[in-house]
Amino acid sequence: MRWRQARRSKARETRIIDLGADYRFADTSVCEAWYRVKHTHKDAERVYGLAELNREAIRGAKIIGNAGCYTTASILALAPLARVDLVDMTSIVVDASPRIGRGALGEAGESSARALRQLQGVRRRNTPPYA
């Protein structure tokens, strides 16, 4: 849903679940810097839609920013370690690569190097939630 459409929504009971990246960030400057577009609904209260970690906040939220697939996998894997201080939060590197694997490559003779070349210069929409 576009920000303007969400903003114009007059029904007070309407709940918006944004499947894009528009409402994933509490700090809209992250969205603006990463996606290179001005956020027009900066004052909207939103909740990061990772139910495993934000269940109570989601229940009452009017705008829920849906978490991406790579971020969901990464955050859920690391959250238990972070909760009990078993990981240095400044040292985490998540190496999640799309299009790598037998199903994505096609023919048996194709290499991972070919798939990695496809990633060069890729600016994925779900990279910022890792930061």
Strand, helix or coil for residue 72: helix
Please say if 31 is a catalytic residue: no
61/32 Cα distance (integer angstroms):
22
Query: Among the options 17, 19, 33, 69, which is catalytic?
Result: 69
Q: Note the helical H segments in the chain.
A: 3-8, 28-35, 51-60, 69-83, 102-105, 112-119
Q: Which residues are catalytic?
A: 69
